[in-house]
Amino acid sequence: MSINAEPLRKILQLEGEKGYLDSAVIGGLDRFLSRWTGQAVQSVASPQLLRQFERLKLVNSNYASLTKQQRKEWVNKVFAFLPELERVEAGKVEVKPPQEKKEEEVTPPPVSRRRPAAKKRRAASGSIDSPITTLKGVSTTLAAKFKRLGVETVRDLLYFFPHRHLDYSQRKHISQLTEGEEQTIIANVWETKVVMPGGRRSTEAIVGDETGNVRVLWFNNPYLVKQLPTNSRVVLSGRVGLFNGRLVFESPEWELLEDKELVHTGRLVPLYSLTQGLHPRQVRKLMKEVVDQWAWQVEDFLPAELRQRCNLFELPQAIAQAHYPENEAAKDRARVSLAFDELFILQLGVLARKREWQEGQPGNSFNIKTPVLDAFLSSLPFELTAAQQKVLGEILADLKEPKPMSRLLQGEVGSGKTVVATAALLVGAASDYQGAFMAPTEILAEQHFANVCQLLSRAGEQVSEEENLRRYSGLLSRPLTVALLIGGMNQARKQEIQQLILSGDIDIIIGTHALIQKEVEFKRLGLAVVDEQHRFGVTQRSALRQKGFNPHVLVMTATPIPRTLALTLYGDLDLSVIDELPPGRQVVKTKWLKPAQRDSAYAFLRKQVAEGHQAFIICPLVEESEAIEAKAAVAEYERLSQEVFPDLSLGLIHGRMSVAEKDEVMHHFRSAELDILVSTPVVEVGIDVPNATVMLVESADRFGLSQLHQFRGRVGRGEEQSYCMLLAQNPSEIGRERLDLIGKIYDGFQLAEEDLRLRGPGEFFGTRQSGLPDLRMAKLSDVALLELARDEAIRLFGKDPTLKKPEHRLLAKELARVWQKGGEWS
């Protein structure tokens, strides 16, 4: 079948000759057209051509009602179209076999590259940062719904990217439809009616193209009857099912084929995350309008030369293609372009902060050639490992500079970070600076206090021991004073110690992060060591500055983070890594047990206790809430103490207990009054009880590798061989892989890389990185892109560190905008 344009051509010619009186054909031109067009469209496969039909009003023409002048114009337009029609249709193959999908693609016109007419653009009032209520058709009610999704301004909306796309771009003829797949057809609506399958009012339609008819059912939706008039042309995209042996389109996405771009069908269709009261069609339609009207008004802040070099879309196009891509390749390129922008801005911000921190105020230059350091190091009962020596060297080199250090020290639990930090604090004290050593919890602060005192007691002679305060002679020309300051201590003593800090009597003060945030005043703070903390960010630093100090900062973490990730997240910090454990450190034997082996696990635990050791039992992770988790832990504790180990003494720790309560339990465990400590996953953080030799982790498959590794670092801290038993009910594929890996790999960094690979960075960190600007498009596993962004940022920063050059004006603006929103950052 092909289109015969000849009759139409003749009629139109005649109509012209007769003076456009609608007299060329009996019954009027409209009737003729409806017949001719009705036949013609059956054989048109190209959607562009179909749209031309619509646009020219060949379908549903209304010739009779036009004025003479309008008739003339219209006839001329159709005339001009006829050769095109014949040309296209001449080369057309009848019905193409399904494998020739390419030719069947419904290709929407490349809108996104086409800028809307100037008129249209001017029609948009307000700026891109106006609330979305300035958009036509967005009520305050609708705006409230979007607000729940974090969308308030037009810009937010533009950056409200779909979480994925449905590929409805493959058009088929009805005869080619197959069961199960997602497919798209263009068809005529022959008939619609309300039907009641299963008692639900639904819409049924029979639609057809030149290859056949198919039934369509929109279950539970009787309203479509009105929206799909008979004889209208629709595009349907969706899944085709089998019903009583016949194919049925099941609630497909639909839209009328009009002179408009397809939004819901026939293309890559965006899927947005919705909240209650927002409907996919509504959001898609709004997004289409917003993207068409506003994407072009987003200023492209990347220097053009950089964009070209990195082969990225211009920003407006990237945004448009991220929503309504022309094809898969454009979609991917849009994602890469937007991800690059995010990472680049992130890197620039991080570099700017570092510069500001280091150049804002002069820091304190320590004299690192001090006999105290040698005395301390030679007093240790061991040699520093090569990694410790290297890292200490890096730190000392920073401390001697008049610009403040900002360094991240990574090293596994037990790799000897505390020793290195103590050495640095001593060097500070020797230069008459105070040092603060901060831990995230009071338990850990106490532990650090005990550890530091123990280390110092070998080098110096303890001359006095007061409550939470020790003095050592023989190290400095005056006694070296170390103190502990935590919320749990008695008020009077606390005030005394605060007074001593202010007067400069205390050299090294150990406490929680409250140390720097709250009431404590220092005399001469020169070095802040922050342990086990990911979020020692700008806020904390400016808190220090407000106290008039510009100390060196050493952040320590036992969470091994792959290098690229560290450079992104903590790009403002220099990185030091202790990548080796002290010699002779035992490997914690780790074993994955099946549920049936639970009893033998309990028996093993009992045996260890009988030998005088202690044990941890880690309760399952409960994601819903800390309260529920605590409740589950209490129940497990009761079950264990009553049914499993009635003869042993058990303790319980969970996140809902007060600090004092937790402290008390920990105290009992450390002093070996308790045999078994039952705990929610909170014990992850550095508890040090060398006599604990065995750990049992429940539902171990649900923890990440790094976390499991942290857990097992709680045992194996003494001389005795230690064990970690992992119980898993019914692990998923990834869960299995993890449990296999943790039994084989004992290197924290290697595990972290594996963890990142298995889980992706979002989960790797548990929650969204607080304080960092949002990453919507970038995945931190995009290592290559991340490195590219970092390199480019360093390069640009090298040329124009303050972004004062005119070509960087927009960049500076964007940086301020993003980072201002980000607030605190790591």
Q: Give the interface with Mg ion as residue ranges (CB under 5 A).
A: 686
Nearer CB in complex with Mg ion: 255/532: 532
Write down the least CB distance from residue 495 to ligand ADP, Å.
Answer: 30
Residues whose CB is less than 8 angstroms from the CB of residue 14 and which lie 6 or more positions away in sequence, other chains included: 24, 25
E strands, 523-588, are: 525-531, 552-557, 574-578
Q: What's the CA gap between 512 and 498, in Å, rounded?
A: 14
Angle CA 152–153–155, to nearest 5: 130
Find where tokens 């012209």 sit. 16
Tell me which of ligand ADP, Mg ion, none is bound by residue 419, counting a contact when its beta carbon lies within the kind-specific cut-off of 5 to 8 angstroms. Answer: ligand ADP
Using the CB atoms, write b or e for 326-351: b if 16+ within 10 Å. Answer: bbeebbebbbbbbbbbbbbbbbbbbb
Nearer CB in complex with ligand ADP: 325/511: 511
Nearer CB in complex with ligand ADP: 416/511: 416
Q: Which residues lie across from 557 on neighbouring strands?
A: 410
- Amino acid identity at 143: A
Write down the least CB distance from residue 582 to ligand ADP, Å.
Answer: 3
The closest of 757, 795, 777 to 565, measured between CA atoms, is 757
Taking CB positions, which residue lies at the least distance from ligand ADP?
416
The closest of 759, 755, 750, 761 to 783, measured between CA atoms, is 761
Tell me which of ligand ADP, Mg ion, none is bound by residue 411, counting a contact when its beta carbon lies within the kind-specific cut-off of 5 to 8 angstroms. Answer: ligand ADP
Find where tokens 């808190």 sit. 543
Tell me which of Mg ion, ligand ADP, none is bound by residue 359, counting a contact when its beta carbon lies within the kind-specific cut-off of 5 to 8 angstroms. Answer: none
| Phi, psi for residue 231 in degrees, rounded to 5 | 75, 0
Tell me which of ligand ADP, Mg ion, none is bound by residue 582, counting a contact when its beta carbon lies within the kind-specific cut-off of 5 to 8 angstroms. Answer: ligand ADP
Pull the structure tokens for residue 549. 């100090």
Residues whose CB is less than 8 angstroms from the CB of residue 167 and which lie 6 or more positions away in sequence, other chains included: 182, 268, 328
8 A C-beta contact, residue 679 and residue 620: no
Number of other residues whose CB lies within 10 A of the CB of residue 413: 22
Write down the least CB distance from residue 455 to ligand ADP, Å.
Answer: 7
Nearer CB in complex with ligand ADP: 407/417: 417
Nearer CB in complex with Mg ion: 162/435: 435
Write down the least CB distance from residue 477 to ligand ADP, Å.
Answer: 27
Nearer CB in complex with ligand ADP: 531/754: 531
Taking CB positions, which residue lies at the least distance from Mg ion?
686
Sign of CA dihedral 142, 147, 153, 156: negative
Tell me which of ligand ADP, Mg ion, none is bound by residue 243, counting a contact when its beta carbon lies within the kind-specific cut-off of 5 to 8 angstroms. Answer: none
Write down the least CB distance from residue 417 to Mg ion, Å.
Answer: 6
Nearer CB in complex with Mg ion: 349/686: 686
Do strands 508-512 and 480-485 pair parallel, antiparallel, or not at all (unpaired)?
Answer: parallel
Write down the least CB distance from residue 760 to ligand ADP, Å.
Answer: 27
Find where tokens 């290559």 sit. 784
Write down the least CB distance from residue 421 to ligand ADP, Å.
Answer: 8
Tell me which of ligand ADP, Mg ion, none is bound by residue 415, counting a contact when its beta carbon lies within the kind-specific cut-off of 5 to 8 angstroms. Answer: ligand ADP
Tell me which of Mg ion, ligand ADP, none is bound by residue 414, counting a contact when its beta carbon lies within the kind-specific cut-off of 5 to 8 angstroms. Answer: ligand ADP
Nearer CB in complex with ligand ADP: 288/714: 714
8 A C-beta contact, residue 376 and residue 416: no
Write down the least CB distance from residue 583 to ligand ADP, Å.
Answer: 7
Nearer CB in complex with Mg ion: 530/630: 530
Binding site for ligand ADP (CB under 6 A): 382-385, 388, 411, 413-419, 451, 582
Pull the structure tokens for residue 616. 């941890």
Write down the least CB distance from residue 749 to Mg ion, Å.
Answer: 17
